[in-house]
C-alpha cells in the first residue's frame, strides 16, 4: 500500500513538528497523569500541584487582570508566558489540543515586551503580554499550515496572516497553535495528522469544532484568548461544548487574509475570524484591539467599520427567545436553560418575547448548498492528493453538497435566495422590535466524539451574517430534572437521530451554554446585550 505509506509519511511531518515543539523542558516531569478513565481533567493543574500558586494565579486571569498586574510591575510578560506554556504542556498531554508550540518565539516576544515596558513605562498595546492561542489554519510565516489535510504538511506561508500581524502589533504573545478537524468542516476536532482533541469537561466528549483546539485551550486555560474561525458554528460550537465564551463577528469586519482552507474565493457565505475567551469583556477587548488597527487599510475587501463603544440600557432592550428552530428539537437541558433565562430576564425587568424561527429550513438549505457550490472539488482533491482516509464527519458534510453539481448560475440563484432571506429576517425582527435573539447553540450540551452533525442552530446565523456570541448559562445538565422523553415523536430522521443522542447520564452535570444573536454589523450591541443578559440570568441561576 504505497498510498498509505505516502500519506502516513506526510502526516508524520505534522506530528514531528508538534512533537519537537512541545516544551517539556520547561516543566518538571508530571507525575500521576490521570488515567484515560478520568473524564473531567479541568482542575488537574490545581489538584496535582504541578504549577506554583503564582502560576495558577497567572493562568486564571482575564486580559484585564493581566494588564493590571503588568502595569503595577507585579508580573512580567515572560513569567506569565512561561506559566501558560507550562499549563499548555500539561493540557497537551491531557487533551491533545495543540498542533505546534511556539515556546521560543513566544518567550522572546514576551522579553521584548518587558524590555519595552521597562524603557517606556507604557504597555505596548491593548493585548500586551496576553498569551493567545491560534487555530492552525491561520497562517504563520515559515510554519506548516496544514488546514486539516495531510497533503498540506509541506505548505509553508511566506508571511503571517493579517490577524496574526495585528495581534502581534497589539502586544499579544502567540504561544501555541491549535487543532482543527479534517477539512475544517466538522463540529468536532479530529484529523489524520495530530488526531483527536478531547473535551476537558469529559474526555469522552467532543470539544466541538472546528475550532476545537481553541475550545480545549481556553477552557483548560492554556491561553487567555483563542483565535478561532467560524463559517457554520466553528467558534460557537467549541465555546458551548467547552463552556467558554466565543464570538462570531459579522463577516468582513475582522481580517481574513492569510487563512488556508478549501474556501479561498468562496464568498456566498463568508467565514470569519473571532475570539474565544474567559469572559465577555475579553471578547470585546479582542475585537477592539483588532479593529482599532483599521484592518481595511490593508485588506480592502473588509468594511471600514471601526469598533464602536456602545452603551445599552437594559430597559431599551428586547430579547427574543427562540426555544427551537422548528427542525430539530433541543435536548431537555437546553430548553430548561432558555426557559430559566426567560424567567430571569423577566425578574430583572428586561423585556423578552418568544421568537418564532423564521424559515430556518430555508436558511439551512441555502447555507449547506453554498458551502460546497464547487461540488466539494477542493475538499475531495485535498484528500486524494495525499491518499489520507476520509473521516466519517467529512463524509457527513459532503452530504450537504447538492446531489448534482452546481453551475455558477445556480450559485447566483442561491445568493438571491440568501439575500431575500436576509431581508425578510431583518424586516421581521424590526417589525417585532426584537434586538437580539437568545437561542440554543446546539441541540444538546455536548456530543460524543465523532457525533456532532447538526449545525443549523449556528449556521443559520452565518447565512444571515449576524454576529453571535456564546456564553455559559450558569446552569448545568441534570439527569433527574432533564429526563429523556421516550415518547417523543420525531419530526424527521435528523430530528430522531439528534433526539436519540440525548443521554441524561452521559451529559449529567455538564454546563449549559446559550447563544445570543443580533443583526448584521451590530456586533457591539450584541456583546453589550450579552453582558446585560448574562448578568440577569446568572443571578441566582442555581436556584432554578
Mask for 424-463, x = binds its own copies (CB under 8 A): --xx--x---------------------------------
CB of 177 to its own copies, least distance (A): 24
Size of the site for its own copies (CB under 8 A): 42
Select which of 21, 133, 183, 210 is catalytic: 210
**Contact call for residue 377 and its own copies (CB under 8 A):** yes
Answer whether 95's CB lies under 8 Å from 207's CB: yes
**Contact call for residue 310 and its own copies (CB under 8 A):** no
116 is catalytic: no
Choices 187-195, 293-301, 382-390, 533-541; region in contact with its own copies by CB under 8 A: 293-301
Helical spans, DSSP H, in 294-359: 332-347
Coil, strand or helix at 354:
strand
- Kindly tell me which residue out of 22, 521, 526, 530 binds its own copies, with binding defined by CB under 8 A: 521
**Contact call for residue 412 and its own copies (CB under 8 A):** yes
Q: Would the annotation count 142 as a binding residue?
A: no
Q: Would the annotation count 537 as a binding residue?
A: no
Which of 139/277 has CB closer to its own copies?
A: 139
Tell which positions 249-278 bind its own copies, by CB under 8 A: 257, 263-268
User: Strand order in 436-439's β-sheet?
Assistant: 98-101, 173-178, 131-135, 225-230, 272-277, 245-248, 468-476, 511-518, 436-439, 318-321, 351-354
> In angstroms, how far apart are the furthest CA atoms of the chain?
69
CB of 178 to its own copies, least distance (A): 25
- Whether the upstream peptide bond of residue 210 has omega within 30° of 0, thus cis, is yes
Q: Which long-range contacts (CB under 8 A, 24 or more apart) does 55-59 make?
A: 55/82, 55/83, 55/86, 55/87, 58/83, 58/84, 59/83, 59/84, 59/87, 59/221
Q: Would the annotation count 210 as a binding residue?
A: yes
- Kindly tell me which residue out of 64, 374, 494, 495 binds its own copies, with binding defined by CB under 8 A: 374
Backbone angles phi, psi at 345, to 5 degrees: -65, -45
**Contact call for residue 403 and its own copies (CB under 8 A):** no
What are the distances in angstroms from CA 316 to CA 313, 321, 430, 434, 530?
6, 16, 14, 11, 14
Which of 281/375 has CB closer to its own copies?
A: 375
Answer whether 241's CB lies under 8 Å from 281's CB: no
243 is catalytic: no
C-alpha to C-alpha distance for 82 and 105, rounded to whole angstroms: 12
C-alpha to C-alpha distance for 296 and 305, rounded to whole angstroms: 8
- Kindly tell me which residue out of 300, 315, 349, 403 binds its own copies, with binding defined by CB under 8 A: 300
Which of 2/408 has CB closer to its own copies?
A: 408
Grid cell of 467 as nine digits? 454576529
Choices 188-196, 406-414, 477-485, 507-515; region in contact with its own copies by CB under 8 A: 406-414
**Contact call for residue 524 and its own copies (CB under 8 A):** no
Find all residues with CB under 8 Å of 51, minimum gap 6, and list them. Answer: 45, 59, 83, 86, 87, 90
C-alpha to C-alpha distance for 357 and 437, rounded to whole angstroms: 10
Q: Would the annotation count 233 as a binding residue?
A: yes
169 is catalytic: no
**Contact call for residue 305 and its own copies (CB under 8 A):** yes
Enumerate binding residues for its own copies (CB under 8 A). 257, 263-268, 296-301, 303-305, 373-375, 377-378, 406-409, 411-416, 419, 422-423, 426-427, 430, 464-465, 519-521
Residues annotated within the binding site for substrate are 184, 210, 231-234
Active site residues: 135, 210, 234
Amino acid at each position: 500500500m504505497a498510498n498509505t505509506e505516502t500519506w502516513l509519511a506526510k502526516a508524520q511531518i505534522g506530528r514531528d513538528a508538534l512533537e519537537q515543539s512541545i516544551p517539556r523542558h520547561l516543566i518538571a516531569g508530571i507525575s500521576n497523569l490521570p488515567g484515560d478513565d478520568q473524564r473531567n481533567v479541568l482542575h488537574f493543574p490545581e489538584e496535582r500541584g504541578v504549577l506554583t500558586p503564582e502560576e495558577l494565579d497567572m493562568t486564571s486571569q482575564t486580559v484585564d487582570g493581566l494588564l493590571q498586574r503588568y502595569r503595577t510591575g507585579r508580573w512580567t510578560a515572560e513569567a506569565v508566558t512561561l506559566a501558560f506554556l507550562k499549563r499548555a504542556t500539561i493540557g497537551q498531554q491531557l487533551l491533545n489540543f495543540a498542533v505546534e508550540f511556539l515556546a521560543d518565539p513566544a518567550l522572546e516576544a514576551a522579553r521584548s515586551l518587558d524590555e519595552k515596558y521597562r524603557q517606556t513605562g507604557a504597555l505596548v498595546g491593548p493585548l500586551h503580554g496576553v498569551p493567545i492561542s491560534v487555530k492552525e489554519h491561520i497562517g504563520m510565516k515559515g510554519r506548516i499550515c496544514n488546514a486539516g489535510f495531510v497533503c498540506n504538511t509541506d505548505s509553508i506561508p511566506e508571511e503571517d496572516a493579517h490577524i496574526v500581524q495585528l495581534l502581534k502589533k497589539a502586544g499579544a504573545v502567540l504561544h501555541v497553535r491549535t487543532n482543527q478537524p479534517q477539512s475544517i468542516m466538522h463540529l468536532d476536532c479530529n484529523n489524520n495528522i495530530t488526531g483527536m482533541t478531547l473535551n476537558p469537561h469529559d474526555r469522552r466528549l467532543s470539544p466541538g469544532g472546528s475550532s476545537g483546539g481553541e475550545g480545549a485551550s481556553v477552557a483548560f486555560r492554556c491561553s487567555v484568548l483563542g483565535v478561532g474561525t467560524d463559517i457554520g458554528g466553528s467558534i460557537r460550537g467549541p465555546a458551548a461544548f467547552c463552556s467558554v465564551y466565543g464570538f462570531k463577528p459579522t463577516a468582513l469586519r475582522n481580517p481574513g487574509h492569510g487563512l488556508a482552507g478549501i474556501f479561498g474565493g468562496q464568498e456566498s457565505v463568508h467565514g470569519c475570524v473571532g475570539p474565544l475567551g474567559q469572559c465577555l469583556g475579553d471578547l470585546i477587548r479582542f475585537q477592539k484591539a483588532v479593529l482599532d488597527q483599521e484592518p481595511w487599510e490593508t485588506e480592502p475587501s473588509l468594511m471600514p467599520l471601526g469598533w464602536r463603544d456602545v452603551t445599552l440600557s437594559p430597559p431599551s432592550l428586547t430579547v427574543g427567545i427562540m426555544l427551537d428552530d422548528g427542525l430539530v428539537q433541543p435536548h431537555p437541558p437546553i430548553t430548561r436553560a432558555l426557559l430559566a433565562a426567560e424567567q430571569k430576564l423577566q425578574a430583572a425587568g428586561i423585556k423578552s418575547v418568544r421568537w418564532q424561527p423564521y424559515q430556518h429550513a430555508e436558511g439551512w438549505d441555502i447555507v449547506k448548498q453554498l458551502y460546497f457550490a464547487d461540488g466539494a472539488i477542493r475538499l475531495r482533491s485535498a484528500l486524494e492528493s495525499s491518499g489520507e482516509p476520509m473521516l466519517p464527519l467529512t463524509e457527513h458534510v459532503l452530504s450537504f453538497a447538492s446531489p448534482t453539481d452546481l453551475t455558477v448560475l445556480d450559485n447566483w440563484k442561491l445568493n438571491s435566495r440568501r439575500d431575500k432571506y436576509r431581508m425578510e429576517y431583518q424586516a421581521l425582527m424590526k417589525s417585532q422590535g426584537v434586538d437580539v435573539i437568545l437561542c440554543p447553540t446546539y441541540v444538546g450540551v455536548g456530543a460524543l466524539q465523532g457525533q456532532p452533525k447538526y449545525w443549523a442552530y449556528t449556521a443559520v446565523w452565518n447565512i444571515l451574517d449576524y454576529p453571535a456570541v456564546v456564553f455559559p448559562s450558569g446552569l448545568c445538565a441534570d439527569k433527574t430534572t432533564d429526563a429523556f422523553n421516550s415518547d417523543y415523536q420525531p419530526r424527521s430522521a435528523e430530528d430522531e437521530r439528534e433526539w436519540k443522542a440525548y443521554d441524561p447520564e452521559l451529559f449529567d452535570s455538564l454546563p449549559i451554554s446559550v447563544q445570543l444573536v443580533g443583526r448584521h454589523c451590530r456586533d457591539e450591541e450584541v456583546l453589550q446585550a450579552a453582558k446585560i443578559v448574562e448578568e440577569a440570568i446568572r443571578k441566582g441561576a442555581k436556584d432554578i
